[in-house]
Amino acid sequence: MTMLDRPNRTGVSAPSIEGGVARPNLITVEQAKAMSIGDITTAFKDHLNPGQLHFMKLLGFHKVKIESAEGMYYTDQNGRKILDFFGGFGSLAFGHNHPRILEARQKFQDEKRHEIAIAFMSQYASALAKNIAACSPADLDMVFLGSSGSEAMEAAVKLAERAAGPKRPKVVYAENSFHGKTKGVLAITDGQLYRAEFRVADNTVRVPFADIQAVENAFKSDPEIGVIVLETILGGGGIIQAPAEYWQQLRALCDRYGVLWVADEVQCGYGRSGRFYAFEHYGVIPDVTALAKSLGAGKAAVGAMIARRDVYMKAYGTSKTAMIHAMATFGGMGEACVTAIEGINVLYDDHLIDRAADSGDYLLERLQALKEKYPKIIKDVRGKGLMVGLEFQDFSQTLPMVLRPVVSVLDDKLKGSLSGFIGALLLRDYDVLVAFTEYNRNVIRLEPPLICERAHVDQFIAALDELLGRGIVHIVKDFLGSQIGG
């Protein structure tokens, strides 16, 4: 439908309210729970995202209706248990429906405690901020609470830009970075898919990730640069790390040139790497950082910006500036904060950061063994803790030598096909769910809950080993067969 053939929406009569406002045809909670796959598909296509449905159908994900979830597993409409190695892009540190998290939320509801109390100070928001500061090194102790990673990063970049001052408005970001889809951070999210034709802020400078010389050249050549924003581990870029020396040199460069460093820890933070923050592995501390994902303990939408006190006070430290970026309506909501407070306590009480390090090392070890077993299929294995990338070879490299020159011209168009085939078949045939990355489509992203044990790793590895053992020809045939079969 174009602008010219839209129905006329002017001169429409106001609905009659005689006898009260009529009730539309609404779905109840119980009816929603009972919806069939067909009903869900229709509603998704008609009212959510018909284009996304296309990709779900390719992977076979549209056939699954999740009825419940607990620990490391989903349960679908057929009673099938699905091992979750996707983890909601790192949002499920505690797995699904952790009993302590449920209990804290239920108690909050039973006691009818306040949810929104914007006019007053909140004991729950204050306690959560104090807890986050306690988990953060050095003087990272000023906290802004929001509802998402994008919101936390928006707050981080705005604060850093204000603290840097009006004479230094430029922001450096890295190639293949992902910092969110909202309009502000879209300018430092390096993906044309997300940027589309939106007009984004032009006060940005792009550099290669992990290239310290490029950073120094930028700082030297442009005195207007006041901020650099980097993911400590590139998530959407394919689970890419920089060496410790890079981060140490970056910290030194920022200090020398007076540039504020914002570390995006939305995905790699909160214990996932085997430390509370991934940057702690490298003995450095940024000026501003951000958390989200698992901060809400899998039951609430919570994001947080954490800044050095002096940086925060420079940006918002007076009565005239304090409200420039104060919490929004749903920042610091009562039950969300209680959920996050309990989550942080569980994180340490259950030693989940240590678990992430141990299970992550074991996962990498088992995947490395598969790489050695299937060198024509697996190109690389990398990651830290339970943030792991499994990269497959370009399609041509998996084929017999005689076919490679012919097929290699199609490698770019076929990127992501093998990871898609394997992801789809892992779910269909082995009840295992994995994720993918935005920029390197050959990479499967593994971010299971931090409660993951070695037995769960063994289950995943056994499934992947058996699947890869079929060989590429059979993997392709089996995937195509699943498409033909609906």
Which SS3 state, helix, strand or coil, does residue 142 take? strand
Q: Per-10-residue mean pLDDT for the chain, 486 residues long? A: 62 72 92 96 94 89 95 97 97 98 98 88 96 97 97 98 97 97 96 91 97 98 98 96 98 98 98 98 98 98 98 96 89 96 98 98 98 96 98 79 60 77 96 93 96 98 97 87 68
pLDDT attached to residue 241: 98
Q: Which residue has the tokens 């449905």?
A: 53
Across 58-71, b (16+ Cβ under 10 Å) vs e yields bbbebbbeeeebeb
pLDDT attached to residue 273: 98
**71: Cα separation from own chain's centroid:** 19
pLDDT attached to residue 410: 54
Query: In 10 A of CB 383, how many CB atoms?
Result: 23
> Rounded distance, CA 278 to CA 268, Å?
6
Query: In 10 A of CB 156, how many CB atoms?
Result: 30
Q: Are 269 and 99 in contact (CB under 8 A)?
A: no
**Which DSSP category does 224 fall into?**
T
Phi, psi values for residue 161, rounded to 5°: -65, -40
Q: Are 71 and 95 in contact (CB under 8 A)?
A: yes
